[in-house]
Amino acid sequence: MIDRSELEANKFYWAKSLARDELEIVYVSTIFGTDKEFWTVATIGSEEHAMPEEFVFLCEVFSPEVEARATR
């Protein structure tokens, strides 16, 4: 698990929604401001934004090129 204090903006994470009890990929968004207090969590495939407190963050989702470089 990743503590919310360790999240980074503009990154994707596997997270569990506490409201829906589902795993999903989410994006930590700075659409409302770059300070952490303004960050929201955007669910992929929708325009919904939620507060980070509404999720348990499991791990970062890396892009394929990052993973390819890490395995070389």
Tell me, what's the pLDDT at 69? 60
pLDDT in tens, the chain (72 residues): 999 999 999 999 999 999 999 999 999 999 999 999 999 999 988 888 999 999 999 999 987 775 556 655
All structural domains of the chain: 4-70 (2.30.30)
Query: Dmax of the chain from CA atoms?
Result: 39
Give me the amino acid identity at 68: A
Q: If you write DSSP's letter for every residue of 30-67 in order, what string do you get? A: -TT-SSGGG-EEEETTS--EE-GGGEEEEEEEPPHHHH
Tell me, what's the pLDDT at 64? 75
